[in-house]
Amino acid sequence: MSSPVQVALIAALTGEWSSIQSRRFGVLMKVWYWAIATTVATLVLLGVGGTVNPTGSSLACPDWPTCYGTFFPEMTGGVLFEHSHRIAATVVGFMTCILAVSIWRSRPPQRRLRVLAVSVVALVIFQGVLGGLTVIFKLPTAISTAHLAIAMGFFSFLIYLTFLLWPGHGMSTDSPVATESAWRPSGRAHLTRRIAAVAALAVYVQILLGALVRHMGAGLACPDIPFCHGALWSSLGPAQLHMAHRYAGVLVAFMVVAAAITVLREIRMGDLGARPVARVAAHLAPWLVVVQVGVGLWMVARNIHWVPATVHLVLGATLLGSLLVAFLGLGPMAVQAVSTAPDLPIDEAGLVVPEGSAA
Ligand code: HEM
């Protein structure tokens, strides 16, 4: 199976394609790399954002968008965490805007990519405003939880977009999913994809439950392990929420392992067109979820210290991402319809010349 890099190299060495196709491919590759970079930067942003609450820095900057009236405050104490989060968010915001403009300028063959490019910018702006509102309204639970829900949604959206932008697969002759129309999976294969999707959804819901535990102050409601004050359940609300997150964590772990086994079995049977990355993600997910449960317990044992708390959040996002990759890497969604795209005129910079402006 050829990777996009291999395809580009072969094209460059053999001169098999016309220079227009090669350059067009090069442009799409650059946009794709930028989408990957934006997704990775968002994961880093999630990590930086994850340090803010457990270090007690959420209101270290009482105003927004400035911090004590300046964009360059002294980076000490809580301001270091809170303002670093704002800086990281600004970087991701710019990267997202550049991604959207690049998608528009590259005139992608799939029209929906342009709509998605606009949507992703709208989402990042909305998320920024929501972040500001959490500060202005002094961290209400609903807004803080919604902030995490959208952060994870934005991260998932970027993964989806990265798949859609993936060049080369439509060009790769040995790809089992060369075109969307060629993808005719069996009923069982459809079921496998659904199982992966349900596992991803379960992880997302579990992440939101974790956000409620955090923002309703239930993190220390059950200080002992594995039970809550020596009992399986509690009559107190915060402890119930805390234990619900723990039990759900174990349930989700079983779901993730079952989904990963199903996906790997299906890939082995070869009924589904699978990208190598789907196999890697399906191998990774069970390990991630087991470590995640362990880190959850470590966090309780360390009285919600910010280090395990941040690792817990980043692992949660990585787990969600790996299941999405397993799901998207199995189906027609990732198919880049480059091979079916019209050969558009390209300027010196390798960008597509807009209609009507060609000499
Ligand atoms: C699939 C498994 C799990 C996932 C995906 C998950 C995810 C998360 C996430 C993302 C948060 C942070 C939410 C935020 O920052 O707003 C969180 C919070 C939390 N999780 Fe989990 N979790 C899982 C399992 C567990 C387990 C087994 C425990 C066991 C003790 C646990 C304990 C906690 C606690 C105590 C918090 C609140 C931390 C705080 O108050 O700051 N989690 N969880």
pLDDT tens for residues 311-326?
999 999 999 999 999 9
> Which one, of 233, 236, 244, lies nearest residue 211 by Cα?
244
pLDDT over 70, % of the chain = 79
Task: Name which residue sits closest to atom 34 of ligand 1, judged by CA.
Answer: 219
Ligand 1 pocket member 213 (CB < 6 A): yes
**Mean pLDDT for the stretch of residues 134-160:** 94
Q: 259: CA distance to ligand 1 center in Å?
A: 21
Ligand 1 atom closest to 250 (CA):
27
Q: 131: CA distance to ligand 1 center in Å?
A: 21
Angstrom distance (rounded) from CA 79 to CA 83? 5
pLDDT band per the 50, 70, 90 thresholds, residue 163:
confident
Ligand 1 pocket member 221 (CB < 6 A): no
Tokens of 16: 């098999």
1: pLDDT strictly greater than 50: no
254: pLDDT strictly greater than 80: yes
Q: How distant is the alpha carbon of residue 160 from its chain centre?
A: 8
Ligand 1 atom closest to 320 (CA):
5
**Mean pLDDT for the stretch of residues 68-79:** 96
What's the pLDDT at 28?
83
Least confident window among 107-111, 240-244, 322-326: 107-111
Task: Name which residue sits closest to atom 39 of ligand 1, judged by CA.
Answer: 214
Least confident window among 6-20, 196-210, 222-236: 6-20
Q: 296: CA distance to ligand 1 center in Å?
A: 6
Supply φ then ψ for residue 67, to 5 degrees: -125, 110
> Which of the 8 DSSP states describes residue 70?
B
205-233 burial: b if 16+ Cβ within 10 Å, else e: ebbbbbbbbbbbebbebbeeeeebeeeee
Q: Which residue has the tokens 């609300």?
A: 237
What's the pLDDT at 242?
98
pLDDT band per the 50, 70, 90 thresholds, residue 175:
very low
Q: Which residue has the tokens 């102050």?
A: 217
Ligand 1 pocket: which of 48, 213, 293 to mutate (most atoms <8 Å of CB)? 213
Query: Going by C-beta distance under 8 Å and a sequence separation of 6 or more, which residues neighbour residue 24?
Result: 338, 343, 344, 346, 350, 352
In Å, how far are 12, 198, 348 from 23, measured between CA atoms?
10, 39, 10
Ligand 1 pocket member 304 (CB < 6 A): yes
What's the pLDDT at 266?
87
Ligand 1 pocket member 168 (CB < 6 A): no
In Å, how far are 49, 168, 170, 324 from 163, measured between CA atoms?
25, 11, 12, 10
pLDDT band per the 50, 70, 90 thresholds, residue 264:
very high
96: pLDDT strictly greater than 60: yes
- To the nearest whole number, what is the mean pLDDT of the chain? 85
